[in-house]
Amino acid sequence: MTPSPASRVSRASLVSIAYEDKGADASSTPLVLVHGHPFDRTMWAPQIETFSAARRVIAPDLRGYGASPVVPGITLLSDFARDIEALLDHLEVETFVLAGLSMGGQIVMECYDRFPGRIRGLVLADTFPAAETAQGRRTRNAMADRLLREGMRGYADEVLEKMVAPYADAEVKAHVHRMMTATPPEGAAAALRGRAERPDYRTLLTRVTVPALVVVGADDAYTPVADAQAMHAALPDSALRVIDGAAHMPNLERPGEFNEALGAFLARVDG
């Protein structure tokens, strides 16, 4: 995927983030895709290719990832949300469907809390809404220290077969490993420290007034099916899709099934 030029977004953000912006059918709701940690916008390549044929699809590189600049220290989910809001202002995209996977799903929830009136539908994939536990905060901060000390490769080697299933296609595994090892440790560490401080979104989900799609890989060890079922139960208007033969990244492991579920959801939003 050829990187798009970085956008100089609004003064509210102060960070110019890179993004993919493809397709331009004004009759369909734009789709905004938010990647997870420690990846970049190329994790959405199957979805960008499929859905840009019939609608505008925008996929940013979050700050600290991909072709976007690194901001060391702590990056809160609210910082990511402000960047996305400013980018969409810059692109003059007023309303859209917002989709995110893992950390990206938590950023989507933060976005809904900040600017719900612009969002016509939510897609929450392989994510969960609860605040971090005390032990979880210690673990994330320790991992941030490790990444700054050692770099990304050892971590990538260790978690690859949890990010995608051990039986995943070799090309998918290679893509996921490349994204992880290419991520700057400073950006990944800043996101980990910020994610450790995230708020609890469980009550927010009960107030969502737009349709939602909850997707999860059947073999996801990070965010198991039970987490997806709990979100589905909390959301007033949602569909749940469990994708067999996938772990934490069903959009790459089983793109056909993922796209089928997403396509049906988008058709419903478009009405």
- What's at 24, amino acid-wise? A
What are the C-alpha distances in Å from 84 to residues 1, 3, 42, 87, 121? 20, 17, 17, 5, 16
Q: Tell me the average pLDDT across 235-254.
A: 98
Has residue 3 been placed in a domain? no
> CA 151, CA 155: separation in Å to the nearest integer?
8
User: Which CATH number does the domain housing residue 123 bear?
Assistant: 3.40.50.1820
| Residue from 208, 252, 247, 218 nearest 98 by CA | 208
Q: Tell me the average pLDDT across 144-163.
A: 98
> Taking the complete model, does pTM exceed 0.85, yes or no?
yes
Range of the domain at 46: 19-270
Has residue 6 been placed in a domain? no
Has residue 154 been placed in a domain? yes
Has residue 9 been placed in a domain? no
Strands 119-125 and 57-60: unpaired
Give 53-97 pLDDT, tens digit per residue: 999 999 999 999 999 999 999 999 999 999 999 999 999 999 999
Has residue 8 been placed in a domain? no
Has residue 1 been placed in a domain? no
Q: Tell me the average pLDDT across 128-143.
A: 97
> CA 80, CA 13: separation in Å to the nearest integer?
9
Has residue 100 been placed in a domain? yes
Has residue 47 been placed in a domain? yes
What are the C-alpha distances in Å from 13 to residues 17, 20, 87, 121, 194? 10, 18, 9, 24, 16
Please tell me the total count of domains within the chain.
1
Share of the chain above pLDDT 70, in %: 95
